[in-house]
Structure 1
Amino acid sequence: MRATFRNLVDTLNVAAFVRDRHDHAISVLRWALILLPMAALVGTLCAAFLLSLDTVTRLRFASPWLLYLLPVGGFVVGLLYHLTGRSVEGGNNLIVEQIHEPGGGVPLRMAPLIFFGTVVTHLFGGSAGREGTAVQLGGSLASGFGRALRLDAGGTRILLMTGIAAGFGAVFGTPIAGAVFALEVLAIGRVEYSALVPCLVAALVGDWTCLAWGIHHGVYPIGASIPVDALLVTEAGVAGIIFGLVGLAFAEANHLVGGWLKRIVPYGPLRPVIGGVFVIALVFLFGTRDYLGLGVLAARPDSLTIASFFGPDTHPWSWAIKLLFTVVTLGAGFKGGEVTPLFFIGAALGNALAPFLGVPTGLFAAIGFVAVFAGAANTPLACTFMGIELFGAGYAVPIAVACFVAYLCSGHNGIYLSQRVAIPKVPANGLAPNATLRETRTRCTALRAQNRVP
C-alpha cells in the first residue's frame, strides 16, 4: 500500500514537471512570436532614421545657409506637436510612466512625429541626439503591438521595456547596454529582472536588423594601452566625481531652461523659434559650427567631432560649449535626445582632464564618454556595459569605477524626470518611497523657497 502511494506521488510530480515545462515552452514561443517581428521592425526604423540623419547632416554641410532656417523648422515641428501631438510631448518620460503605471498606452503617432521632428532638428543644425528618437520609436511600436494583441498590463509593461531595449541597442550598436538600460532606467537603485531575457532578445534582434540594412557605427580607438593599476583606478574615481557633477549640471540646466521658457512663452511652437535664434547667436559668438548636430560627422578635416577627443590634442573648453549649445536646443523644445551630446561632452571633458591626471587622452575620453551619461541618466550598469562593448574589456575596471562614482555624485536628479527613486543613493530626509525625480525636484525647490522666507 505504501509503495503504491509513493508511486502515485512520483507520477504526479512527473506530470506536474512536464506540465510546467510545457507551459514554459508555450510562453517562450508566444513571446518569441511577438518580440522577433517587433524588434526587427524597430531595428529597421532605426536604420532608416540613422540613414536620414546622415543624409540631412551632409546636406547641412553642403548648404550652410540651412542654419538660418532653424527657427522656422522649430516652429513647424512645434506647431505639429501642438496640433496633433500633445499627448506624446512627454517623450521618453511618457514611456517610463506607462511602464510604471500602464494606462492609456503610448500613442502610435509618437513614432512618425519624433522621427520627423529629430530629422528637422538636425537638418537645420540643432544640437541634439538620437537616443530619444530610437527609444520613442521602440516604445511607440511596442505599445502598438501590445494593443493589437490585447496584452494585459504585465505583458504590456514588459513589451514597452523591450521596445526601449531594441531602439537603444540598434541606434548605438550596443545590444547588451541596450538591454540593461531598459531594465535600469526605470528606477534608481533597482533593476527590473522580470524582463531580462525579453530585453536582451529584443536588443540583439534590433541591433542585428539595423546592421543587416548596412548601418555602421562609429569606432573610437583608445590608442596605446597602459596597465590597469591602483593609481589608474584612483584617477578614474577622481575623474568620476567631475563627470557626475557635469552630468548633474547638464540635467539641471536642461530642466531649468525648459521650465523657464514654458513660463515666459506659454505658446509651445514659439519656444523653438527663440531657441533657434539663440543657437544661431551662439554660432556667431564662438565663431564655429562644430557644436551643431550630433558631433559625429565633420564638415571639414579640422572640425571637432567626438572622435577628435580621442586624439593627442587637448580641447579644454569644448565640453562646456557643447553643453551650452545642447541645453539651449533641447530646453527650447527641439526633438532628438540627450545621449549623443552627452557622449560629446563626456569625451571632451575626459580629453580636458587627461593632461592634469597624466593619463592617455584617448583612455579618459573613452571613460568620460560613458561616465557623464551614467551620471546624467542614473544608469551606471548600462554605461559600464556600453564602455566594454565600445572600447573593449581591458579597461572595464576604470570604466566601471568612473561610471559608479559619477552615478553617486549626480544626486537624485537626471535627464529622465519620470525615473523613480527605488533606493536612494544616500539617505534623504522626506523622500517619499518610489518618488519620481520630478517630485524630488519639486520638493527641493519648495524647501529652498521656504528657507529663503525670513
Structure 2
Amino acid sequence: MEGLRRLIIGVLLVTPVGVLAGSASAFFLWALDRATTLRFENGWLLFLLPLAGAGIAWVYHSYGNGAERGNNLLIDEIHQPGGGVPARITPLVLGGTLITHLFGGSAGREGTAVQMGGGLASAFATLARIPEKYRRMLLMAGVAAGFGSVFGTPLAGAIFAMEVLTLGRVQYDMLIPCMVAALVGDFTCTAWGAHHTRMLIAGPLMGDHSMLAGMDLSLLAKVAIAGVAFGLCARLFSSAGHGISAAFTRYVPRFWLRPVIGGVVVIALTYLLGTREYLGLGTVALNLGDTTTTSVFFEGGADTWSWFWKLLFTVVTLGAGFKGGEVTPLFFIGGALGNTLAGLLGMPVDLAAGLGFVAVFAGASNTPLACTLMGIELFGAQHAIFFAVACWLSYQFSGHSGIYSAQRIASRKDGA
C-alpha cells in the first residue's frame, strides 16, 4: 500500500509540471518560428549577432545566478540537491535562445525546453511548498516533459530524463513519474496547437514473420559501419565544443567579448561559404536547394561536407556563449553525414539520414536507449533494429566526454 500511495502522490505532483513544461514548449516553438521568419525577412539582422551576443552575456552575468550552466546545473541538482535551480533560468534561457536565433546563431531548442521544464518544476515546488524529498522527482519530470514536448517524442523524453544523468545507468526508480510528465507535456504542447514534423523511411526492409529472418545482413553491416562513423562525429562535436569554450574562457577574459568574437566568426564563415543555410535551427530554408533537416533524407539533399559546416557553426555559436540546445543541430549534422555515407556505403539515403539523425545525438549525449526510442517515434518501428545498432555503436565510439559535462560515469565504455 505504501508503494501505491507514493505512486499516486508522484503522479499528482508531476502532472502540473507536465502542463507547465508543455505550455512553455508550445510558446517557445511558436516564438522560435516567428524569430526565424523575421530573420529570413530581414537579412541585415545577422550583422547585429555580435552585439546581441554581448547583450546575452551581460544579462546572464548580471542576473544569471548560476543559470549560465544550463543543463549541467539541472543534472548536478538532480544528483545532489544544493543551491536549487533558480526560477529565472526559464525566462533567461527562453530570451537568450530566441535572440540567438533571431540574429542568426546556430543553435537548437532541446537545451531551452529542458531548462524551462526544470526551472518551472523548481518554481512549482517552491510555490507549492513541496517537501524536499520530492524535488529530485520534480526536476526529472521537468526534464522529461520539456524534452518530450518540444520534439513530440514523449517516450524518448521520459527515458532521456532517466538516462542522461549517469553514463551507463538508467534511473528506473523515476520511470512512471517521468513517463507521466512527458506524456502530459506532449499532450499539452499539442493541445496549444504546436505541430511536430514526422518523416517516414521508405521500404519494408525486414521480413514479415521475424525481424531477423528477412533482414539484409549486408545492409546491417553497412549500418554498423555508419554507426561507428556517427560515434566519431559525436566525439568530434563534443570535443570541439568543449575545446572552443575552454579557449574562449582562457584567452578572452572579458565575458562580453567572447560572443562578440564568436558572432564575427559566424558572419565570416557565412560569407566565406556564400550561404546562410547553416544559421539557426536548420529545419527550414531561406533558399530553394539549401540543406535542411528534411532535405537530407533525399538524394542530393546535402553537400558532402554539410555536416562538418553545421558542426563548425554550432560549436562556435555555443562555445562563444550564445544560448540554445545542441540536439537540433545534431539532427542536421547526423542527417547530413548519413546522406554522405549513403553514397559511400551504397545505402538508401533516407535510411542512412534517419540513422544519423538520432545516432549522432545518441553518441554526443550518451543516451542510446532514449535515441533508439526517438528513432522509432519519429520514423516508425519497422527499422527499430537498425536504430538500435546505429545508436549503440555511436555511443560506444563517442568517448566519455559528451555534451553534458555534469554527467557522471557509472560504467565505462572501455570496461576499465
TM over 0.5: yes
CA distance in 2, matches of 1:232, 1:166: 36
Displacement of 1:234 in angstroms is: 1.4
- Kept in 2, the 8 Å contact 1:290–1:305? The answer is yes
Number of the residue aligned with 2:211: none
Number of the residue aligned with 2:386: 398
Amino acid aligned to 1:69: L
Determine if the alignment matches structure 1 residue 382 to structure 2 residue 370. Answer: yes
| Runs of 5+ unmatched residues, structure 2 | 207-214
Of 305, 316, 330 in structure 2, the residue corresponding to residue 328 of structure 1 is 316
Displacement of 1:303 in angstroms is: 2.0
Q: How do 1:261-410 and structure 2 match up within 5 A?
A: 261-313=248-300, 315-410=303-398
CA distance in 1, matches of 2:370, 2:133: 23
Number of the residue aligned with 1:53: 32
Number of the residue aligned with 2:116: 137
CA distance in 2, matches of 1:353, 1:416: 27
Q: How do 1:2-401 and structure 2 match up within 5 A?
A: 20=1, 23-227=2-206, 228-313=215-300, 315-401=303-389
Amino acid aligned to 1:34: L
Amino acid aligned to 1:311: F
Q: Secondary structure at the match of 1:198?
A: helix
1:324-349 Cα shifts (integer Å, max 9, x gaps): 10011000010001000000000000
CA distance in 2, matches of 1:153, 1:344: 40
- Kept in 2, the 8 Å contact 1:370–1:387? The answer is yes
* Aligned length in residues: 407
CA distance in 2, matches of 1:174, 1:396: 15
- Kept in 2, the 8 Å contact 1:165–1:178? The answer is yes
Number of the residue aligned with 1:9: none
CA distance in 2, matches of 1:150, 1:229: 57
Larger relative contact order (Cα-Cα within 8 Å, sequence gap ≥ 6): 2
- Kept in 2, the 8 Å contact 1:380–1:407? The answer is yes
CA distance in 1, matches of 2:131, 2:393: 39
Displacement of 1:74 in angstroms is: 0.7
CA distance in 2, matches of 1:225, 1:302: 29
Q: Secondary structure at the match of 2:193?
A: coil
- Kept in 2, the 8 Å contact 1:309–1:315? The answer is no
CA distance in 2, matches of 1:221, 1:83: 46
1:28-50 Cα shifts (integer Å, max 9, x gaps): 33323321122101100100000
TM-score by length of 1: 0.88
CA distance in 2, matches of 1:192, 1:31: 15
- Kept in 1, the 8 Å contact 2:205–2:383? The answer is no
Q: Secondary structure at the match of 1:418?
A: coil
CA distance in 2, matches of 1:111, 1:352: 38
Which shifted more, 213-222 or 336-345? 213-222
Displacement of 1:153 in angstroms is: 4.4
Amino acid aligned to 1:409: F
Q: Secondary structure at the match of 2:294?
A: helix
CA distance in 2, matches of 1:326, 1:87: 23
CA distance in 2, matches of 1:319, 1:283: 15
Which shifted more, 265-274 or 397-406? 265-274
Displacement of 1:312 in angstroms is: 1.3
CA distance in 2, matches of 1:93, 1:291: 26
Amino acid aligned to 2:110: E
Number of the residue aligned with 1:439: none
CA distance in 2, matches of 1:153, 1:243: 41
Number of the residue aligned with 1:8: none
CA distance in 2, matches of 1:148, 1:213: 25
- Kept in 1, the 8 Å contact 2:108–2:325? The answer is yes
TM-score by length of 2: 0.96
Greater radius of gyration (CA): 1
The percent identity for this pair of structures is 56
Displacement of 1:224 in angstroms is: 3.9
RMSD between superposed Cα atoms in Å: 1.2
| Runs of 5+ unmatched residues, structure 1 | 1-19, 429-454
CA distance in 1, matches of 2:379, 2:199: 7
CA distance in 2, matches of 1:194, 1:31: 11
Amino acid aligned to 1:240: G
- Kept in 2, the 8 Å contact 1:221–1:310? The answer is no
Displacement of 1:219 in angstroms is: 2.3
- Kept in 1, the 8 Å contact 2:85–2:118? The answer is yes
